[in-house]
Amino acid sequence: MNSFLQLVQSRRSARKYLDKPVERENILQCLEAARLAPSADNVQPWRFIIIDDPNLINGFSSHAFSGIYSPTRFAAKAPVIIVMLAKLDILANRIGKQIQGIHFYLLDSGIAGEHLVLQAQELGLGTCWIGWFSIKKVRKFLKIPRQYKIVSLISMGYPEELKTREQKRLPLPDIAWFNGFKNRQSQ
């Protein structure tokens, strides 16, 4: 089997991490993979704030994962939390959104983030995309200027255990069609 497909099939969200710091060179390798991602009009909107100081993670987590966001409190025990930001470009992100109705910075950030988590997987690191957090409190805690959109958080560390159970996925004929739309439900 193709090694890339094996990598993708083995990747799982990690919510429990070993109490072991992640080496900076591994974090930098993951960021390099993200940096190389393609983007609309090559604007490369992604920016990253890496939090790997345990005391800062503690303070950050008490803000980001408080109240209704407490289900994602597991990330407070991760050795690394990456805050993914987007710096919006006038053409690709503002005019493009007006014409196409698509937030290209979200697509671009998604590609960069997936490069990052797949590189982490290859290095034996576990990650979890986090969308459930207080954007307002994260912005205030990290003093992030308004011109940057906060896209997501990614927790990272050496996973305590990753379950290798089969993920339930839709079969290809339900999600992909050649030469036109075909809804299997109506056939």
Alpha carbons 155 and 126: distance in angstroms, whole number: 8
* Neighbouring residues of 16: CB distance < 8 A, sequence distance ≥ 6: 74, 77, 159, 160, 161
Number of domains present in the structure of the chain: 1
Q: Is 38 exposed, middle or buried (0-12, 13-18, 19+ CB in 10 A)?
A: exposed
Q: Is 58 among the domain residues?
A: yes
Give the separation between CA 156 and CA 23, rounded to whole angstroms.
11
**Whole-angstrom Cα distance, residue 100 to residue 92?**
10
- Could you please report the per-residue DSSP string of 76-103? GGSSEEEEEEEE--IIIIIIHHHHH---
Q: Is the pTM of this model over 0.85?
A: yes
Cα dihedral across residues 33, 113, 77, 60: positive or negative: positive
Residues 18 and 48 sit within 8 Å (Cβ to Cβ): no
179 inside domain: no
Q: What confidence score (pLDDT) does residue 167 get? A: 73
Residue 89: CB partners within 8 Å, gap ≥ 6? 41, 43, 45, 105
Q: Say if 170 falls within a structural domain.
A: no
The pLDDT of residue 109 is 95
Mean per-residue pLDDT pooled into runs of 10, the chain (187 residues): 82 93 98 95 94 97 96 96 89 69 87 97 96 97 95 97 73 86 63
What does the pLDDT read at residue 92?
65
Count Cβ atoms within 10 A of the Cβ of residue 86 and give its class: 0-12 exposed, 13-18 middle, 19 or more buried: buried
Where residue 117 sits, what CATH number does that domain have? 3.40.109.10
Is 16 a domain residue?
Answer: yes
pLDDT value for 66: 94
pLDDT for position 1: 53
- Contact of 113 with 154, CB cutoff 8 Å: yes
Residue 31: closest CA among 74, 84, 103, 105: 84
Give residue 165's identity as a one-letter amino acid code: R
Round the CA-based radius of gyration of the chain to a whole number and report it. 18
List the domain range (segments joined by +) for residue 55. Answer: 3-161
